[in-house]
Amino acid sequence: MREVGNGRYRLVRELGRGGMGVVWLGEDTVLGREVAVKELLLPGNVPARERAVYQERVLREAKIASRLSEPAVVTVYDLISAGDETFIVMELVNAPTLDECVDLDGPLGAKAAATLAGQLLNALEAAHEQGVVHRDVKPGNVMVPARGTAKLTDFGIAQSLDDPRLTATGTLIGSPAYMSPERLADGEASPAWDLWALGATLFYAVEGRGAFDRPTTSATILAVMSERPVPRVGGPLGELVTGLMDPDPRRRLGVAQAHRLIERVLGDGLRDATRPITPVPPVTPVPHLTPAPPVEVPPKRRRPVGVILSATLTPLFIIGAFVLLYFTVFKPLLDNAGLGLGDGPASTPAMQPVLTVGVDGDIKDDGLGAFKKDCLTWTPAKDAPPIKPQDRGGCYKEHATEVLDTVVANSEIQQDVPYPGVEELTKIGGTVCTRTFLSDKVGGQDKEKTLRYWVVIPTAESWKVKTENGYRHSSRVIHCFVGKADGTPLTEPLMKQ
């Protein structure tokens, strides 16, 4: 068993690992308590001349966190630096991260999300008052205990406003899906960065998916720079999320405004930053605004520490290249989703009759709003009710169906384009859904006999562009669902993560 700090701390077992470090379960032999010990682990591609830069980041994390007296910030107990080894000894929080909570139990209800927002906002206030920008607020850095206060962790890439920049040349440190547009445009560090990231984190908490999660880093950055997703929750919670994610930092919600909206959600006029985050039944949302079309999300990494995007060009030049790629490569592919599907089968015996969704369709809803990784207590059927927030839950709880796949039939959701027709959409949806069903993404033996899957396509009416609350939108997504052939509940995920 390894020992550090002249034998004071024993490293018992590894708790998590990422690009910047390893977190160990440790034992403080002097005080007789369990602690978390973070060991600096440099990425393999870091040149020797830059090792000191990364080591300085970790040292700064300890110094910053140690001077923040706030219940929602993980407490730092000790700092050990000897030779090339650096360790931070911290409070052990026996709790899952926010992304793990949502993955297991589904999106948070309105009051639970507002309570979480208040706690994280208090943590950021404390940091900003000390002149510190966290720079990596995201679901993987939020610990959510069953009781007590949520904890914001990993100040490893935080930057004091009065410190020189320590970002290594040619790298972008952080998670692009939770970086504000002005940060990606290489702006100066600002507390507004953290408020935008808080909004994106809350979007994930209430939606069960990241607002800008995309298959590639370039697509993610493009989405942050060009899209403005709207959550399905309404009222003051919806105002909070969209206000924090305003792309213009001058219009973005400030701390005081955010607290007022949180108080309205909680309904008691108080900032209760210590209330346990116990899930409650979600409120009924107002008629939703269709968000940007969902795009396939890459498999979730359990305890991400950070994402390092190597580059030799300036961020602005990179973003310009991504925009060019989008309009010359990605957009034509999306607009012609029926092309390039190959010669795979359009159906199997497990495929159910195709359903339509729309006010004039089999399912009376103007867009299902189901996303990959959704596990539902809802089953597609003629005259089935719309999907409600309470229909979403954890994939390890009893559920009826899972989202097998989604395909964007046309990405111009704000433009009037001709309806392709039921036959064409059925061909596109049947081919994509069947291909995914037969792939190794779906578990189970003899699945063509034990499972069934559905294809749901938009009607001509739902395809039309509508204007709601100033937003133009339409429903142009084909949904695929999968469940057991005998209709019995699922108790664990069919879709492999």
Would you please indicate which residues are annotated as catalytic (active-site) residues?
Answer: 136
| CB neighbourhood size of 454 (10 A) | 22
- CA distance linking residue 465 with residue 458, whole number of Å: 12
Backbone phi and psi for residue 328, each to the nearest 5 degrees, phi listed first: -100, -20
Lookup: tokens for 210: 């990241």
- CA distance linking residue 184 with residue 225, whole number of Å: 8
Residue 426: which of 351, 343, 359, 324 has the closest Cα?
Answer: 351
397 in a known ligand binding site: no
The long-range contacts involving 103-107, CB below 8 angstroms and separated by at least 24 positions, are 103/300, 103/373, 103/394, 103/395, 104/394, 104/395, 104/396, 105/279, 105/393, 105/394, 105/397, 106/208, 106/375, 106/392, 106/393, 106/394, 107/205, 107/206, 107/207, 107/208, 107/282, 107/389, 107/392
- CA distance linking residue 487 with residue 400, whole number of Å: 7
Whether 181 and 171 have beta carbons less than 8 Å apart is answered as no
Binding site feature residues for ATP: 38
Binding site feature residues: 38
